[in-house]
Structure 1
Amino acid sequence: MKIYKNYKLSITLFSIMFLTTFTGISQENKQLHPNLITTAKSIELIKKKLGKYPLLDNSIKEMKDLVDPELNKEIDFPIPVDPAGGYTHEKHKENYLMMYRAAMLYQVLGDKKYSDYVIKMFKGYVALFPTLGLHPDGKSYSPGKLFWQALNDAAFLVNVAQAYDCVYYEFTPEDRKAVETKLLKPLADFLSVGSPKMFNRVHNHGIWLNAAVGMAGYVLNDKELIKRALFGAEIDRTLETFKTVDYNDPALKGFDPDRPAGYFMQLDNLFSPDGFYIEGPYYQRFSIWPFILLAQTIENNNPDIKIFKYRDSILKKALYTALQLSNTNGDFFPFNDALKGMSFASPELTLALDVVYKNYGKDAELLDVAAKQDRVVFSEGGFEVAKDVAENKAKAFIWKSANFGDGADGKNGGVGILRYGPSSDQLCQIMRYTSHGLAHGHFDKLNQLLYDNGNEILQDYGAARWVAVIQKIGGRYLPENTTWAKQTIAHNTLVVDEKSHFNGDINESSEHNSELYFYDASNESYQIISAKENNAYPGIQMHRTFVMITDSRLEKPFVLDIFNVVSESKHQLDLPFHYLGEIMDVPFDHEVMTKDLKPLGEANGYQHLWLLSKGKTKEPQAKFTWLNSGRFYTITTVADENTELLLCRLGANDPEFNLRPDPSFIIRQKEAKNHTFVSIVEPHGSKSLTREIVTNSEGGIKKLAIVYQDSDYIAIDVIVQDKKLRVILSLNNNDTKKSHSLKIDGKMQKWMGPYMQLFDK
């Protein structure tokens, strides 16, 4: 399955139009510098309001606090030798950030000490860059020159192009020529025609290279560079590097020399029509920066292109979807290779918000997010945001239930989000049923995450990586990212026979996606998301449904989880719940492994889990309770004589202590052929540490049972306090207009659509 959509005709027509009409920067905008993100108009507006708008003043102060202490220090331009996290890597990164910040301060404050500093920096790189070959510790498929991978060289060029734009008129003609011919143009050539496998790749690295070359093209008024950025670099297949290309290499997912490339190809294929980014929210945050940077640069120089209307305003959708793919504290959901704690307060989202606010109608809810970011970019959008926040125009940002399709056409699965309650105390259930997600994807079809009251309750581990920490292999992905974090057992979804989905084969996984069965959040009292996965394991069909249920008789909403497994033969089935918190109650018979602590298994992530306890229950249901941030949570699950209940903790076979020692609760069915896991996660009660008061530590779910099941239907009863709730699910017909009838306990139940919910009065 191609991961890209074929927009070849539309791209060809657009490129013909562009190449026949484009002659460089439009005459209207040819005053010339600055003309990328920061413009002369934006600087004029900002200067008039210094001291008037707090977000502007905060942004200036933040930059001054970073730049001013460095102005009189000797600048080091080390020969690149280190990978990420090493001295030379971090020094060159610090240098380009300082160039950018100082150049912005020069534009806003007009103090030549900042432009002098930037010019000194440029002279250092003009002397250094022509001497460099490929980085000595570079990535084999995308080495850089200043950095170990071309991605970082692209980030360098994005920043120094803007710095050059802002101090352009302070250079002598001779120095300007040297910067352009010995640094900016050669680096842009290296990133494009010199790195076509990465430049033409549909991937977050590809868009960074496209944006860098495009911004260099605009600051140099170089038509050829702009054309490459928008439509891709030409490939010379006679080069030795293309004679041995393995297109099944996961590192090259997204590269195909036989299709269009460049910025528009990235826009067409990396986002779904809903604005969902193929690699997940963490990389949506990372990638939106170059997308928005180049878009605003195009708009400032060639407004006739109408880039912000492209693909039904896809860049607007990308920002709004990114914001909705976050917890109510702003942290992004950590699907795939994601790092915990990354939030909408990041610089990438600051730029995106400022640009979207200006170009798409000034939504007052965005101002609420901007106030939390506490900074703006020095642009017209940043000025408008700062002005309107200062004038108290902000409205509270609302996190909503939503379902976002994945894939260029929106048909490669997706992400369903169910929410209940205000942002101050919201329950949020997420189901991931997407495509694999390129090389950063994990093997976690039908995975779930649960947030409550701003806290992670059932977590996705995210990535095993410590960015920029040299002790952790320079900040690169750790071996445990492959041996644990990507494996299915690291997620809250089904594992069969201790093997990961698609047997851990990225090429196989990339050929498939889960399918939405139905989604309905129209009634906040019972919201539902249901999806199927039929390819993760040969001969096994998986169908998972989440129902978020609330009622005036309930203390808190709870989530019903129905995971139906149909198999051609018997297997061991494991369903993990990676909870966060402290165990409060284990009310089933269990053996604690105090004298014989062993890993749960030997491979596929199991080797990293210590088995702490193993138990069974004599009841038709089992419970497990923990405490998280002053609130109790109980899992109630249907059980039988073949159910094993395991308590585990991460950290086995981890001699470098690279993994967090996180806990998990695993429901295991041994020798199961067809089986349905039915569980409830219930938030309830509270514990005050200061007042030492505990309320409702046991919860309100008294009984959970499957009361009817065949190949077409399943009916579940939940006893809540003294009331019965019945949920019936049609397993094979999702037609919302289809009538159903089913006799249960001698009573005929009738309903329309794929599910029914009924409370006893």
Structure 2
Amino acid sequence: MDNALLFTKSEIQELREALESKRLPALYQEQIILDQVRLRPCLGEPPQIPGQGEAGGADHTRHKQNYQQLHLASQLWLLTEHPDYLAFVRSMLLGYADIYESLPSHVSKDSNPPGRLFHQCLNESMWLLYGSDAYSNVRDALSEEERRHIEQRLLVPMVQLIADHNADDFDVIHNHGIWSVAAGAFAGLVLGDKELVNRSLYGNAGDGVSGGFYAQLDRLFSPDGYYLEGPYYHRFALRPMILLAEALYQSGNDTGIFGYRDGIIGKAIACLNELTFEDGRFIAINDSSRTMGLADEGAILGAMTLVGRYRQSDLPLALREILLDQSTPLSYLATLPQLASYLESGGQAHAPRDSLFITDGRDGGLGGIGVLRAATEAGHEAMAYLTFGQHGSDPNLHSALDHGHFDGLHLGFYNGRRETLTDYGFCRWVNIEPKFGGRYTAENKSYAKQTVAHNTLVVDEQSQHGFSTPRACDNHGKLVFFETSRPEVQAVSARLSGYYEGVELQRSVALVSLPEIAEPLLVDIQCADSDQTHRYDSPLHINGQLMTTRPTLEPVAAPAALGSANGYQHLWKLSESATIEPDQCAHVTWLDGDTFSTAHLASSNRFSVGYGLIGAADPDNNLRNEPYLMARSSGRGHIFATVIETHGYFNEAREISRGARPSLARVAIAAADETHLVVTLTLDSGKAYHLAWARQQGGHHQVNIDGNSLAWDGWVSLSAVENAS
């Protein structure tokens, strides 16, 4: 073998000489020193190779740390040729080779096939990928007998388990499948097994469609780079995708891989960067961790690839800050020197990110995500997103590809400081042993996936598509318009058909910047059209402490669950308002951190507002006790209009409170029919604005409001109301 998998010999020599002469970018040089310090306690010690333990437990973690340290030590060996690094890698690989074949299949407690080291074969693939890379880096320094022992007693048996024994899962189009084929390709490259490399790239059938790396790139990502299962699994799938692409490029097996499918790898990386709040956290679509963000290894590898392979210089500010943090480990791909130089030069000057529409589906025709952005008074980024793509699951690809939520037209909002409207994410206690072994808990299905767990309209207390994944996978939302040509109004609108029998749903969302209000307003219009009467619930999941409500939310006599099924059984009902007439408006203000938010709610029919907490019917305390608001009404054609206003500042320690009262005095639905809708926003000064929407098509529009004609062109219009008082 002429080269390591992720470096050519000439690159290694250049890096080594630059390191010795201290000509490397300072960030790169410092990172190497830090990693040497991190690994130093392990050097000279016998390898710690445990047996089998439960998912997320100490043994699981030790095996994971071992392949991470193998990966790091082997690259430090390439760069420094220090014998301690070689000794560490040699003893670890030989130690695993001594025991691997004697281990029985692990006891698996879920639907995924087990490995020998880990409870699921997915983790075995991860070990094989990093282990193969480490072996490629030290192979030339090992004796023939040592090579034979490692290859025949460790790498080959691992390949047989992953690619042969679990051949169906090796072909699966899924995040597990990307890891499997990447591991198979890494092993095939280091073993010189061309047949295994081809199987990994084109699948067991060799057609490049039913399985293999290229099928993963073709079928899991939209033309804009959006990943079927959502951002949480997107960042996990990026890591093997990038590592294998780099290995294929460096080995000469596919020097055009970074241009494949119009540069889909680069688009996938850039798309994930777009699906983040300003603080670097991913938006929670489908099964997702609320805390996962750009500090993940997949996103960091992605940054290295965008800068090094695609020569892009528009990394999010949060990602640049993570990369400059000395505690962030960086992998020594050949692209790292370019990244270090880019960061040291300051990168591109920070500029506000644009609003954008991201398509979903392999051909881009299965709905998508509308992302709206507007600048706040302090120069931060307010961001709203509306999701209406495919379900996020596809049993036609694999039964394990089941991370989709029933949340069409779900809305999230980050006000530039806090996540104002939240998504619950998944119900899972990752790697915490007392909580179901780190697996998804039963409440993931009974609550987190249900429609009521999201900020979207619920009809008759049922979840969309009757909570049927096959039905949901055959349907998707449709974009009505995405209009961002005017900075004062950034808007998106989409429709759902067939999500509820006999009910058509449309949601139009805008970020509106008014000169009299410091922060952008989130304006949300939900429309339901039906020939029959239905119950409509509009939940808003929030964080913080309730401050004031108008009308008053009165405590219920005895807290009880809001319903008996479809997620309602997990919602405590604590207080509710009296009935609110269509010509009235409700206001709810809460404090979250140092920021006040007010929801102004109006409806085309009589409605009420309730408040409660998540956590009913939860004997194992698996659910987080987070608050929600719920607007409830009944009717045939129905409209909920909600405006979220961010305002004020609060500092208890300094005894400061300012701007605690909202500037909006009233929100009203001024005109509405099947083709048009006008919402009036009235300030406490008496000044008012009409926000006018077209529901079906653009062009010229004209409606009558209180005897006055309002005309506009296009999809959405914002205009001051003349003679408002």
What CA distance in whole angstroms lies between the structure 2 residues aligned with 1:627 and 1:332? 23
In the alignment, the residues of structure 2 paired with residue 527 and residue 482 of structure 1 have an alpha-carbon distance, to the nearest angstrom, of 34
2:591 counterpart letter in structure 1 = L
Does the alignment pair 1:348 with 2:310? no
Partner of 2:240: 290
Query: Does the CA contact (< 8 Å) of 2:603 and 2:639 recur in 1?
Result: no
Contact 2:278/2:318 (CA < 8 Å) preserved in 1? no
* Deviation (angstroms), 1:201: 1.4
- Cα distance per residue 1:366-419 (max 9 Å; x no partner): 797344223432122111111332344453264321110001011111111111
How far 1:63 moved relative to its partner?
Answer: 2.9
1:132 to 2:88 alignment: no
| Alpha-carbon contact 2:280-2:318 (below 8 Å) kept | no
Number of residue pairs matched?
704
CA distance in 2, matches of 1:449, 1:49: 47
- Shift of residue 651 of structure 1? 1.5
Residue in 1 aligned with 2:398?
none
Structure 1 match to 2:673: 710
**C-alpha distance in 2 between matches for 1:393 and 1:430:** 27
Q: Using the alignment, how far apart are the partners of 2:706 and 2:251 within structure 1? A: 71
SS at match of 1:577: strand
What is the RMSD of the two structures over their aligned residues, measured on CA atoms? 2.2
| Structure 1 contact 350–370 (Cα < 8 Å) conserved | no
Aligned to 2:367: 413
Q: Deviations over 1:411-447 (max 9, x none)?
A: 1111111111169522111111111111111110100
Is 1:44 equivalent to 2:32 in the alignment? no
Does residue 428 in structure 1 map to residue 428 in structure 2? no
Residue 257 of structure 2 corresponds to residue 307 of structure 1: yes
Kindly indicate whether the alpha-carbon contact (under 8 Å) linking 2:12 and 2:78 is maintained by their aligned counterparts in 1. Answer: no
Change (3 A) 1:292 1:35: same
The secondary structure found in structure 2 opposite 1:589 is coil
CA distance in 2, matches of 1:145, 1:216: 17
Tell me what 2:711 maps to: 750
- Work out the CA distance in 2 between the residues paired with 1:745 and 1:561: 23
Deviations 1:457-494 (A, max 9, x none): 11001111121111112211122211111111111011
Q: Find the aligned partners of 1:640 and 1:739 in 2 and give their Cα distance.
A: 25
The answer on whether the counterparts of 2:359 and 2:369 sit within 8 Å (CA) in structure 1 is: yes
Equivalent in the alignment of 1:172: 143
- Structure 2 residue 537 is the aligned partner of structure 1 residue 565: no
Counterpart pick for 1:384 among 338, 353, 358: 338
Task: Name which of 571, 579, 603 aligns with 1:609.
Answer: 571
Q: What is the Cα deviation at residue 39 of structure 1?
A: 5.7
Aligned to 1:241: none
Q: Distance in 2 between matches of 1:688 and 1:550?
A: 26
| Cα 1:452/1:558, change in 2 over 3 Å | same
Q: What does residue range 245-644 of structure 1 map to in structure 2 within 5 Å?
A: 259-302=209-252, 305-363=255-313, 365=315, 369-373=319-323, 374=325, 375-396=329-350, 398-421=352-375, 424-438=379-393, 439-593=402-556, 596-618=558-580, 620-639=584-603, 642-644=606-608
- Relative to structure 1, is the Cα distance of residues 304 and 503 closer, same or farther in structure 2, using a 3 angstrom cutoff? closer
Take 1:388 and 1:730, find their aligned partners in 2: how far apart are those partners?
45
Separation in 1, partners of 2:658, 2:301: 45
In 1, distance between residues paired with 2:33 and 2:627? Answer: 42
Distance 1:141 1:690, change over 3 A: closer
Change (3 A) 1:304 1:128: closer
Structure 2 CA distance for partners of 1:49 and 1:72, relative to 1, 3 Å: closer
- C-alpha separation between the residues in 1 aligned to 2:680 and 2:286? 35
Letter of the 2:68 partner, please give it: L
Question: Which segment is superposed worse, 684-693 or 582-591?
Answer: 684-693
CA positional deviation for 1:207: 0.7
Question: For 1:521, what is the secondary structure of its paired residue?
Answer: strand
Q: Which runs of 4+ in 1 moved over 6 A?
A: none
Counterparts in 2 of 1:482 and 1:99: CA distance versus 1, 3 Å:
same
* Corresponding residue SS for 2:343: helix
Q: In structure 1, what is the Cα distance between the partners aligned to 2:314 and 2:671?
A: 49
Matched residue type, 1:144: G
**Given the alignment of the two structures, is residue 85 of structure 1 paired with residue 56 of structure 2, yes or no?**
yes
Aligned to 2:3: 33
CA contact (8 A) 2:7 2:250 kept: yes
Structure 1 residue 38, shift from structure 2 partner: 7.4
Give the Cα separation in 2 of the matches to 1:387 and 1:532.
Answer: 46
Query: What's the secondary structure of 1:329's corresponding residue?
Result: coil
* 1:713-760 deviation per Cα after TM superposition (whole angstroms, max 9, x unaligned): 222211133222112222222xx4x32232332233332223332223
Query: Does structure 1 retain, via aligned residues, the 8 Å contact 2:8–2:250?
Result: no
Equivalent in 22, 30, 47 of residue 75 of structure 1: 47
Cα distance change on mapping 1:474 and 1:745 into 2, 3 Å: same
Query: Quick check: 576-585 or 635-644, which moved more?
Result: 635-644
Q: CA deviation at 1:563?
A: 0.2
Which amino acid counterpart does residue 18 of structure 2 have in structure 1?
Answer: K
Aligned equivalents of 1:574 and 1:705: distance in 2? Answer: 19
Once the two structures are aligned, what percentage of the paired residues are identical?
A: 32
2:651 to 688, 698, 703: 688
Going from structure 1 to structure 2, the CA distance change for 1:689 and 1:38 (only over 3 Å counts) comes to: farther
Deviations along 1:132-186, one digit per CA (max 9) or x if unpaired, are: 3432226444322221111111111111011101111221111101211222123
Query: Once the 2 structures are TM-superposed, how far is the Cα of residue 77 of structure 1 from its aligned partner?
Result: 2.8
Report the counterpart of residue 36 of structure 2 in structure 1.
64
Q: Distance in 2 between matches of 1:219 and 1:154?
A: 15
Structure 2 CA distance for aligned equivalents of residues 601 and 43 of structure 1: 67
Give the partner amino acid of 2:702: S
1:118 aligned partner, one-letter code: V
Partners of 2:706 and 2:555 in 1: how far apart? 41
Cα distance change, pair 537–38 in 1 and its aligned pair in 2 (3 A): farther
Distance in structure 2 (CA, Å) of the matches to 1:38 and 1:349: 24
Aligned pairs (5 A) from 1:88-99: 88-99=59-70
Write the letter of the residue equivalent to 1:56.
Y
Give the counterpart letter for 2:135 in structure 1: Y
Any idea what SS the aligned residue of 1:611 has?
Answer: strand
Q: Secondary structure at the match of 1:193?
A: helix
* Aligned residues of 1:138 and 1:147 also touching (Cα < 8 A): no
Could you tell me which of 121, 132, 151 is aligned with 2:92?
A: 121
Following the alignment from structure 1 to structure 2, what is the Cα–Cα distance between the partners of residues 147 and 40?
37
Q: What's the TM-score, normalizing by structure 2?
A: 0.93
Q: Which has the higher mean CA deviation after the structures are superposed, 410-419 or 355-364?
A: 355-364
String of CA shifts for 1:297-351, please: whole Å, max 9, x gaps.
Answer: 1111126541111111111111111111001111111111111221112111111
Judging changes above 3 Å, is the alpha-carbon distance between structure 1 residues 414 and 492 closer, same or farther for their aligned structure 2 residues?
A: same
2:609 to 635, 645, 658: 645
Mapped contact 1:376–1:385 kept (Cα < 8 A) = no
Change (3 A) 1:321 1:43: farther
One-letter amino acid matched to 2:663: G
